[in-house]
Structure 1
Amino acid sequence: MGHPHVARLMGVYEAEEKLSLVMERMTGGELFDRVVQKKVFTEEDAALSAWHMLRSVSYIHHEGVVRRDLKLENFLYDAPGSDFLKLIDFGLSKFYKGLKMNEALGTLRYTAPEVLHKDYSSGSCDLWSLGVIVLILLGGYMPFACETDAETMRAIVKGSYSMKPARWGHISKQGIDFVRRLLVVNPKERLTAKGALAHPWIRQRRGGLGDFVEGAELSIAQGFISFAKATRFRRACLQLMAWSLTFDERCQLRQAFVELSESHGGVVKKKDLGELLKDRICDMEGKPCPTLMEAVAMLDFGPNDEIRYSDFLAAMMACTDFDAREGVIRATFRRLDANGGGYISEKDLQGVLGEGADVRGIISELPTRHVIIARSPLTTRSLSKSSWHT
């Protein structure tokens, strides 16, 4: 999973009796703790939080994953004092496309009716859970919290909850409508993630990032031109290095990515990137820059031409001055040097890039003196030379 609103899995370590996951560090605390502290959110803060959560859900649904246990505790703020939320903990998640699910699981008070009926086949149950979360943010109470689990289950199945006048009298009609359209018993009538993102309550209160993108298009263009011209080996290295960006650098870049990917489930369509840059990056005669358009056309991001967050960060890294960032190069080398032998072998590359990667083809693009074979390994020094200079 690679999205600004999904916590990054950094590494996996397997022992005989234990599997350890290393996640991106999130220091801002849980959304649950923020609710305990604030009691209730303003509509502006609640809509911003809902927008963040919906973007993460829209992305995982686009990837064919249903979360099945969304709750306040599973959204974390990235830094103290920050309002930027990320989704964590995919322990109960499942690839759902083409499947009919019959497991009743998750945290009861957030669980959708169709999950309790053990009959669901899409990500609609995540939208019900988000409805519960947003009701808590705006109202300050849990909508389905009866004395016994049996009573709670009956209330959920019936969609029986109350909007207390004392808490909801000052909430806008759009805010109330948003919650009600998520807490619909029939999943076919419930808002989808895309529909929820387009709801007026979200669109009018989420704010805009257009000004940032207006000032960032030149850097984006330069990055994708450099990325398109790079060898496949350099691109692979950039993919690994992208997560070595500082927190502040990622904060700036992620805003541009979010704006570009807003309408496509958390990915950027190559044709949309081309259209955006074509209209804003021109040559001296005011015409679309041919070098830029050629670079965009050269990009290959799979059969659907979808640019994911890791691809976007890697492209932005392509126009960075790495000479001053030797530590990043060394960290990348250590990740590629899987067995710690001090050089990168063909087997090492295959292990990092995956079984489907054309490692021999990638190697063939390197200068002859850097071909990776057991008798002529790629060292840290040659990694620096071969990956940055094309």
Structure 2
Amino acid sequence: MGLCHAKPIEIPETQFESHVISGDNQPISSTTEVGKTPQFPFYSPSPLPSGFKNSPANSSVTSTPLRFFKRPFPPPSPAKHIRALLARRHGSIKPNEASIPEGSECDIGLDKNFGFPKQFENHYELGEEVGRGHFGFTCSAKGKRGSLKGQDVAVKVIPKAKWENLSFHTVEFCGILAFCLKKSFFFCQMTTAIAIEDVRREVKILRALTGHKNLVQFYEAYEDGDNVYVVMEGGKFSEEDAKVVMVQILSVVAYCHLQGVVHRDLKPENFLFASKGDNSPLKAIDFGLSDYVKPDERLNDIVGSAYYVAPEVLHRSYGTEADMWSIGVIAYILLCGSRPFWARTESGIFRAVLKAEPSFDEAPWPSLSPDAVDFVKRLLNKDYRKRLTAAQALSHPWLSSFQDIKIPQDMIIYRLVRAYICSTSLRKAALGALAKTLTVPQLAYLKEQFQMLSPSKNGHISMQNYKTAILRSFTDAMRDSRVIEFVNTVSTLQYRKMDFEEFCAASISVHQLEAMDTWEQHARCAYELFEKDGNRPIMIEELASSVKNCKQWRFCCVYGTYNSPPLNQELGLSPSVPVHVVLQDWIRHSDGKLSFLGFVRLLHGLSSRAFHKA
């Protein structure tokens, strides 16, 4: 956006007022008497005679009104074409003329009267708030008289006081949101002269189009000195409706991710219903920004839509997890009707995505099921490692009512199993203890993944099973994304056969468990089991080799003097700090066994930058 600049002001004979736009866009005024040095000397007129022919040599500063700008000339207004369009719409100017002043909207004087009826309270009894957006809120209400007497309705309340300080905004009315409009309500931003026109236009469109089965039924618009009230049919986009949509979105995304394709632009507009029927399936469209990604590689180009972009995309290091963040944003909108992250500018949206936390305190979140809240929270985790995959999301308890969900293979299993096989026996024992704390839904997901690998009659699988299973879903995309190349590295690993118990230990994502409210219980219970079965006196060098594989790093462990620059970097320590000092904190001095802190760190394997904080 360009800088704002004050309108010309008339300056008295004895003094003048200069207006400069400060860094925070707040006008700063200064009053300077004649003969005194101005407060802003950079903008003072030259004391030398003017070079123009007709200018007097001894011109007085006070004889000519001046405008002072932060720049010599103001930049063109980015809203100029919008203002001209509005003016032409009202017939006030010719196409190539501009009679609307470029000054502040507050200087123009806003007419906030729409001509709507003013007897809202006489016709409706306003109930509790059921949803809140960035620009207003929706309340339930009940008709008090007329044809809607006793009928439940929804009222969108838009405070007029906000109109002077916000900026122009539009709302998407395509794709899946067209379906949402049937039962849910989205807040249009109502700001300044442009936004007042938006209010008039929205009500006019709703009045003209109402009656279609997939559009919310509009009844009437009211106003008073403080608010505009848009009365519509009651009801809301229920959890069950949201589940139907999410299952379809997750199914296609899980399939794409298995093939090594990341969509990178998941948003409501890119999902369309195949027909107008109530049971019409959703279709994913627009793969123009999609790309191939190998399971153990990261992309670095910033693409997508601002409201739905994942934090790691902005950090230029991401994979298929970025799509899951976008799905979390869609789920948030479906369930509450507003975006989890919002700002007036694209850069502001990016800052909100990186720093802000979505709100789950305001209506309707307290009235939604705990599983629905947990589902969205586990998708909108800023740490991509803690985010659910598409296959895991389909297995989430919130969607358990759908009995016919087809859950595909999950590529995260391949990554986790490969890391498990390369781990030391000490870490495998720790993961085995953690696997025994898993809940029934978590075990159900792992059971399905295990069965897809076609275990033998005695319930075991070999590494070759992983390649055989993935080839059943083979497409050309899988070859182009080099997923097959990655799977080959897993299938050729030399390892004994696994039963389901060890498969669970190998397939646990510790980061994902950490994102759950029950993580502390999992960790404490697992540590108690580890104490009974696997904990024993250990040496620093053994613990160091558990953090990073000895063959990989090619280092020697010498008790008391151990130091390795690669491992120091992994632990977040300077090269001069002996690593054994940190690792000793993981071992109890009383018996030389692993402490709870060491157990948790060992579970990770560990690629963490938080060691120096421990």
Alignment TM-score, normalising by the size of structure 2? 0.30
Query: Would you tell me which structure has more helix in proportion to its own residues?
Result: 1
Bigger radius of gyration among the two: 2
